Amino acid sequence: MIHGLIAVDKEKGLSSHDVVDAIRKIFKIKKAGHFGALDPLATGLLLIALGNATKFFSFYLKKEKQYAGTIEFGYGTTTYDSEGEPLGEKKEINLGNVDVAALLAAFSGPQTQIPPIYSAKKFKGRPLYYYARHPQSDRMGVVLRPVQVEIYHLEGKAVGPTTLQFRALTSSGTYMRTLAHDIGQRLNVGAYLKELRRERIGEFSLDSAFTLEEIRHSAAAGDLRKVIIPIESLLPEFPKIIVSPAGCRDVGNGLPLQPENILKLFPAASNDNFRLFDEEGKFLAIARKNASRIGFKPYIVFPD
């Protein structure tokens, strides 16, 4: 069984699920999943977890993301991107007359966003796009609840009378299509997301990503180390603890790790979670400090 992470440079036109399916076929495995979807029209970084690394979803969900893209002004669309139908007639605008820096500054910092109706956000157990694509469904009962997000940095420049190029560093859960739509609403002319490329998720960037074709080639050549980041290298922000054989048995049985079974502790940036390893470097579990007594309580344990 393969356990680790693959950084994929997703091409335009593929859904995130398409990429996961392709990875499953390439490596002939069933246990795989992505850490944060990209729309089919978007390109760029998509993290695919394999095997036990799929248990790290909650950690990677919280990591900041960086995007580069293009917004087209003049009208909005039903999907907030270039696939949707126009919302009204096209309006005239010349971005050369707009203070772009001030405009984008108004959309920086903590804020609330309304998810697009064409999105994977769940409502009553179904993604919102289900209701948008099935008029016979109870779409009138759909409630688009605002979500709290943060845009840490947003910059851009006009590259034509109606076209804006931008780069954004955001919290997880930020909808770039909603950002484009909201900016168009602010100028009262409408806008939609024309192009989007994800450049970074946490510590991973496109520099370490591979296309599906490159991954297929490496797998066929048996060179898995080139494209797979081993699970032992993941979550380096959590301190690493080397556990004694007795401690390994306790951890494997879901019991707390006692101080006397800690052989070595390597400090790291965060002390909220700890990575437990045996003496040979095998990843055993993720643990938290035991609040009620001494030691560490494992809550994500990897089977043998």
CA–CA dist 57, 90 (Å, integer): 41
> Does residue 21 have a pLDDT over 80?
yes
Element (H, E) at 60: helix 57-61
CA–CA dist 2, 48 (Å, integer): 12
Q: Would you identify the CATH topology of the domain 65-201?
A: Pseudouridine synthase (3.30.2350)
Residue-range domain boundaries for the chain:
4-62+204-232, 65-201, 235-301
Mean pLDDT of the chain: 91
User: Looking at residues 272-277, what average pLDDT do you find?
Assistant: 95
* Residue pLDDT, tens place only, 38-88: 999 999 999 999 999 999 999 998 899 999 999 999 999 999 999 999 999
| The pLDDT of residue 90 | 94
Beta carbons of 178 and 114 less than 8 angstroms apart: yes
CA–CA dist 232, 282 (Å, integer): 7
- The pTM assigned to this predicted structure is 0.88
Query: What 8-state DSSP symbol labels residue 4?
Result: E
* Residue 25 identity: K
Query: What 8-state DSSP symbol labels residue 11?
Result: P
DSSP string computed for 173-222:
T--HHHHHHHHHHHTTS-EEEEEEEEEEETTEEGGG-B-HHHHHHHHHTT
| The pLDDT of residue 120 | 57
DSSP string computed for 76-131:
EETTSBTTSPEESS-----GGGS-HHHHHHTT-EEEEEPPPSSSS-EETTEEHHHH
Q: Does domain 235-301 have CATH number 2.30.130.10?
A: yes
Domains 4-62+204-232 and 65-201 share a fold: yes
Task: Provide the annotated active-site residues.
Answer: 39
Assign domain 4-62+204-232 to its CATH superfamily.
Pseudouridine synthase (3.30.2350.10)
The separation between CA 96 and the C-alpha centre of its own chain, rounded to angstroms, equals 34
Q: Give 259: exposed, middle or buried? Use CB within 10 Å, 0-12, 13-18, 19+.
A: exposed
In the numeric block, which tokens belong to residue 116? 């697009």
In the numeric block, which tokens belong to residue 232? 């032992």
* Residue pLDDT, tens place only, 142-163: 667 788 999 999 999 999 999 9
Q: Determine the 3-state secondary structure of 231 from DSSP.
A: helix
Q: Determine the 3-state secondary structure of 224 from DSSP.
A: helix
| The pLDDT of residue 131 | 47
Q: Determine the 3-state secondary structure of 250 from DSSP.
A: helix
